[in-house]
């Protein structure tokens, strides 16, 4: 087929490719590798940033790092990459993870098929041709059989529009869009809105560098210590010698990271045993207390209350002023771990510093952004730098920013207006040949994401290979199967305490977003078995069309 062709509307289509992938984070990079190097297809990647990295390109705020150990938070598909790369810390910082992704891109020669500084604005499906037409803000128009938005579940920064938005005359930063050149805090008064996982990483470091930091907190969080440390060369050697076994253990665990202390029930233990277990998990750091401690922590209110009380007690022991400690302790009505567990380093101790002020904006909400700072209902605050650490429009934000239209011009935004509709979080009815990676209704953000990404990319590559072998031109989810999957996702979530929280897992952080729990909570291993079984049965649950 010629590269320059006329389409039905007589407009020039400048390229025909097998697949368009959007995004050059963990997902887009691996997807490109599989499509191009394994399936020998022609694939083109569009990325809004000027280089690879995704999350780790954009989130350069001070303190950004992973909270799944680096040996796990990395690709598993290439023993060679595993062997060649050495992490310098137990939990790598953003610069090192970015360097790792740059290393992978170079090793696999991926950049030559990625168009950087290019944002995809629309993608429309043409049923008659079984093709997607993808347009970019640089004027490109590309036609592809497969459309793979690997746009990230946490890539669309949420910037609340308070009264007076845009009026602040000092420097304004968004953590998820942090400038490459960094920010000089020296001698500056800083205001930061938000106390989620991002803010908890950034606040202790900014506090050390600036003259004064004011933290605007709407909801206190159950942060627990990360306990990062330099990589022990002996640990690294052992991991590398046993990587296959380690990855197997990761796959066998609920969230894609193994924990060896996990016990069935907090209720079954005596108070002394419980205390010892909590202390041990607390000392392990990371997610140990959250998902590596007791299996019923996120299922049973009483079990949850024990863990919540334990964390509250720890917060109080770390903060000198009891009034500030009160403000930092999540209330009993907020169950532990139902919002994503933030892992921190010296976060609570930071409030013992003279140059840090905590403001409760639930009690006294932000009334207005002013040229010199902000006003709450009862006070005015002045600063030189304003930081939004206000999270993301998760799961659907980056998808809805594009004009995605499936069969008969149906818009994805309209189709999903009451919440995402997918089968396995991979495909959607009326959007043939569109695949999402770690999308809504998959284990997604409640699973070690590089592993989840690999699972999805490999499934997608397999289905494309199958379609080519069988002469098939289109695949989409059956409506009834979507309905069953949505019900299954809801049923699994409803068995836990997670839907009770006002979290971004439910879209509750974005005004007007439907409150639907968007993560499949059956565990990565079960999920993998389900999607593998569908594939083994000739992609049961999906409708396939012959190639036209
Ligand atoms: P992303 O890395 O988000 O990449 C998506 C890319 O798509 C972006 O570069 C974006 O610019 C691009 N894009 C989006 N829309 C368009 C468009 N219309 N046109 C062109 N380009 C577009 N997960 C874990 O499992 N463990 C962790 O410890 C962990 N730590 C995290 C820390 C932070 C600060 C954040 C924000 C997330 C963290 N995550 C973690 C989740 C993290 O997002 C994933 O682990 C992973 O990096 C996602 O990769 P991805 O390729 O799916 O998406
Ligand atoms: P977040 O958890 O959604 O936190 C956003 C913060 O901003 C919350 O404190 C929120 O308050 C506040 N906020 C949002 N809108 C507001 C408004 N209109 N008014 C006042 N306050 C507002 O976002 P995040 O901290 O960026 O983290 C998002 C996810 O990214 C994490 O959960 C995690 O999955 C990932 N992440 C991981 C790490 C890591 O350690 N590896 C680090 C950072 C991020 P409310 O709680 O009241 O909504």
Query: Mean pLDDT in each 10-residue stretch from start to end of the chain (548 residues)?
Result: 40 78 98 98 98 98 98 98 98 98 98 98 97 97 97 98 98 98 98 98 98 98 98 98 97 93 98 98 98 98 98 98 98 97 98 98 98 97 98 98 98 98 98 98 97 98 98 98 98 98 96 97 96 98 96
- The SS3 of residue 474 is strand
Backbone dihedral angles phi then psi of residue 465, each to the nearest 5 degrees: -60, -40
Ligand 2 lined by 218 (C-beta under 6 Å): yes
Give dist(CA 338, CA 308) in Å, integer.
11
Dist. CA 308 → ligand 2 center (Å): 19
Give dist(CA 120, CA 399) in Å, integer.
10
Among all bound ligands, the one having the nearest atom to the CA of 199 is 2
The answer to whether residues 94 and 56 touch, using CB atoms and an 8 Å cutoff, is yes
Q: Is the dihedral of CA 115, 95, 175, 452 positive or negative?
A: positive
Which pTM does this prediction carry?
0.97
Dist. CA 94 → ligand 2 center (Å): 17
Dist. CA 155 → ligand 1 center (Å): 5
Ligand 2 lined by 446 (C-beta under 6 Å): no
Look at residue 12 in the predicted model and tell me its pLDDT. Answer: 52
Site of tokens 């869009």: 177
CA distances from 182 to 31, 58, 177, 512 (A): 31, 12, 11, 33
Q: Is the dihedral of CA 136, 464, 404, 7 positive or negative?
A: positive
Q: Which atom of ligand 1 is nearest to the CA of 449?
A: 25
Q: How many CA atoms lie within 13 A of 265 on its CB side?
A: 7
Site of tokens 């894609």: 256
The answer to whether residues 32 and 43 touch, using CB atoms and an 8 Å cutoff, is yes
Ligand 2 lined by 155 (C-beta under 6 Å): no
Which residue's CA lies nearest to atom 53 of ligand 1? 152
The answer to whether residues 473 and 273 touch, using CB atoms and an 8 Å cutoff, is no
Classify strands 43-46 and 380-382 as parallel, antiparallel or unpaired: unpaired
Count of Cβ atoms closer than 10 Å to residue 37 Cβ? 13
CA distances from 230 to 93, 227, 342 (A): 11, 10, 20
Look at residue 297 in the predicted model and tell me its pLDDT. Answer: 98
The answer to whether residues 14 and 141 touch, using CB atoms and an 8 Å cutoff, is yes
In angstroms, how far is CA 531 from the centroid of its own chain? 21
By most ligand atoms within 8 Å of CB, the mutation choice from 67, 91, 173, 194 for ligand 2 is 194
Look at residue 15 in the predicted model and tell me its pLDDT. Answer: 73
Give dist(CA 370, CA 133) in Å, integer.
44
Dist. CA 251 → ligand 2 center (Å): 27
| Contacts for 458 with CB less than 8 Å, ≥ 6 apart | 34, 77
Ligand 2 lined by 160 (C-beta under 6 Å): yes
**Rg of the Cα trace of the chain?**
24
Give dist(CA 313, CA 308) in Å, integer.
9
Token pair in block for residue 30: 């691996």
Classify strands 15-22 and 43-46 as parallel, antiparallel or unpaired: parallel
Dist. CA 441 → ligand 2 center (Å): 20
- The SS3 of residue 52 is coil
User: What residues flank ligand 1, with Cβ below 6 Å?
Assistant: 22-28, 46-49, 54-55, 57, 59, 64, 66-68, 73, 119-120, 150-152, 154-155, 198, 398, 401-402, 437-438, 448-449, 453
Give dist(CA 485, CA 540) in Å, integer.
13
Which of 373, 369, 327 has the alpha carbon at shortest distance from 348? 327
Give the bridge partners for 249, in sequence order: none
Count of Cβ atoms closer than 10 Å to residue 417 Cβ? 10
């Amino acid at each position: 087929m010629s590269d320059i062709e006329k389409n039905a509307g007589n407009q020039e289509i400048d390229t025909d490719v097998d697949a368009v992938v959007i995004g050059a984070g963990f997902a887009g990079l691996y997807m490109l590798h599989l499509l191009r190097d394994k399936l020998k297809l022609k694939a083109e990647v569009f990325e809004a940033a000027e280089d690879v990295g995704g999350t780790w390109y954009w989130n350069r705020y001070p303190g950004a790092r992973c909270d799944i150990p680096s040996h796990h938070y990395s690709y598993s598909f290439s023993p060679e990459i595993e062997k060649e790369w050495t992490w310098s810390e137990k939990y790598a910082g953003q610069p090192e993870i970015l360097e790792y992704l740059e290393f992978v891109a170079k090793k696999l020669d991926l950049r030559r098929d990625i168009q950087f500084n290019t944002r995809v604005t629309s993608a429309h499906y043409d049923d008659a041709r079984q093709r997607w037409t993808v347009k970019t803000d640089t004027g490109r128009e590309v036609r592809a059989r497969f459309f793979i938005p690997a746009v990230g579940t946490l890539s669309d920064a949420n910037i609340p529009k308070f009264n007076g938005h845009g009026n602040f005359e000092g420097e304004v930063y968004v953590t998820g869009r942090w400038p490459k050149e960094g920010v000089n805090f020296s001698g500056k008064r800083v205001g930061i809105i938000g106390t989620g996982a991002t803010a908890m990483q950034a606040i202790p470091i900014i506090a050390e560098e600036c003259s004064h930091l004011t933290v605007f907190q709407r909801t206190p969080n159950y942060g627990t210590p990360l306990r990062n440390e330099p990589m022990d060369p002996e640990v690294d050697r052992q991991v590398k010698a046993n990587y296959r076994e380690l990855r197997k253990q990761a796959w066998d665990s609920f969230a894609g990271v193994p924990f060896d202390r996990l016990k069935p029930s907090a209720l079954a233990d005596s108070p002394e045993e419980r205390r010892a277990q909590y202390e041990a998990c607390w000392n392990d750091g990371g997610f140990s207390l959250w998902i590596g401690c007791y299996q019923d922590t996120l299922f049973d209110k009483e079990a949850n209350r024990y863990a919540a009380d334990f964390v509250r007690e720890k917060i109080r022991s770390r903060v000198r002023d009891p009034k500030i400690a009160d403000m930092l302790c999540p209330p009993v009505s907020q169950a532990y771990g139902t919002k994503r567990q933030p892992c921190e380093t010296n976060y609570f101790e930071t409030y013992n510093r003279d140059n840090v002020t905590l403001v409760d904006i639930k009690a006294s909400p932000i009334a207005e952004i002013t040229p010199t700072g902000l006003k709450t209902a009862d006070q005015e605050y002045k600063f030189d730098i304003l930081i939004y650490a206000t999270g993301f429009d998760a799961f659907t934000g980056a998808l809805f920013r594009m004009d995605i239209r499936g069969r008969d011009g149906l818009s994805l935004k309209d189709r999903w207006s009451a919440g995402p509709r997918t089968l396995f979080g991979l495909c959607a009815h009326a959007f043939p040949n569109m695949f999402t990676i770690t999308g809504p209704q998959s284990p997604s953000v409640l699973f070690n994401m590089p592993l989840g990404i690999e699972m999805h990319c490999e499934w997608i590559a397999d289905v494309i290979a199958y379609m080519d072998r069988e002469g098939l031109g289109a695949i989409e989810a059956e409506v009834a199967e979507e309905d069953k999957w949505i019900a299954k996702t809801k049923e699994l979530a409803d068995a836990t305490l997670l839907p009770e929280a006002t979290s971004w897992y439910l879209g509750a952080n974005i005004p007007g977003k439907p409150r639907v729990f968007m993560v499949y909570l059956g565990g990565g291993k079960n999920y993998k078995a389900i999607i593998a079984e569908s594939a083994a049965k000739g992609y049961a649950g999906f409708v396939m069309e012959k190639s036209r």
